[in-house]
């Protein structure tokens, strides 16, 4: 069982949505919310089409960097951003 799988189970038990760092690779996820106190980050993600209701796919994890697919484009995001995106 993968770590991500365990995380997923654990988080769903607690009723919390999980974030992108815990996603399975290649799995199309729907964004539940963007949780950040930084309005700039929220606006920024919004402008890329990354907000609740939209989809996101984790493509690969390179160290502390997450490659994701949002609205037909590839982005490299850091852990801080990945944690803000709840799915």
Partner 1 sequence: MRIALAGNPNSGKTTLFNAITGSIESVGNWPGVTVARKEGEVKRNLYKKNEAIRIIDLPGTYSMSPFTLEERITRDFVRNESPDVIINIIDANNLSRSLVYTTQLLELGVPVVVALNKWDTVKQKQTDINTETLSKQLNCPVIPISAIQNQGLRILIETCYQIKGKKQIAPYRCMIVENVEHVAESDKKRFEFVSAIVTEAEKRKVTSDKQTIHDTIDRIVANRYLGMPIFAIILYAVFSISQSTIGPWIADYMVAGIDSLYVFAESAMSEAVSPLLKTLLLDGIIGGVGAIVGFLPLIMVLFFMLALLEDSGYMARVAVVMDPIMKKVGLSGRSIIPMVISTGCAIPGIMSTRTIKNERERRTTAMLTSFMPCGAKLPVIALFAGVFFQEAAWVGTLMYFLGILVIIFGAYVIRKINNDTSKKSFFIMELPEYRWPSVKRAFTSMINQGKAFVTKAVTIILISNVVVQIMQTFTWQFQLVEEGLEATSILANISSPIAFAMIPLGFGIWQLTAAAVTGFIAKENVVGTLAVVFGITNFINTEELILVSGSIEVAGIFGLTSVAALAYLVFNLFTPPCFAAIGAMNAELESKKWLIGSIAFQLGMGYVLAYLIYQIGTFATTGQLGSGAFAGLFTVLVLIGIVLLIITKNSVETTLKVQ
Site membership for partner 1, residue 51 (CB under 8 A): yes
Q: In whole angstroms, what is the distance from residue 26 CA to residue 13 CA? A: 23
Q: Which of 9, 64, 85, 86 binds partner 1 (CB under 8 A)?
A: 64
Q: Which of 3, 14, 15, 62 binds partner 1 (CB under 8 A)?
A: 62
Q: Which stretch binds partner 1 (CB under 8 A): 1-9, 14-22, 64-72?
A: 64-72
Burial grade of 54 (CB within 10 A; 0-12, 13-18, 19 or more):
middle
Site membership for partner 1, residue 20 (CB under 8 A): no
Give the distance, in angstroms, between the CA of residue 68 and the centroid of all CA atoms in the same chain: 8
């Amino acid at each position: 069982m993968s770590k991500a799988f365990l995380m997923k189970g654990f988080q769903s038990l607690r009723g919390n949505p999980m974030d992108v760092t815990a996603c399975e690779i290649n799995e199309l996820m729907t964004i539940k919310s963007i949780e950040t106190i930084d309005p700039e980050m929220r606006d920024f993600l919004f402008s890329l089409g990354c907000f609740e209701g939209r989809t996101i796919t984790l493509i690969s994890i390179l160290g502390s960097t997450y490659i994701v697919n949002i609205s037909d484009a590839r982005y490299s995001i850091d852990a801080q951003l990945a944690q803000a995106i709840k799915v």
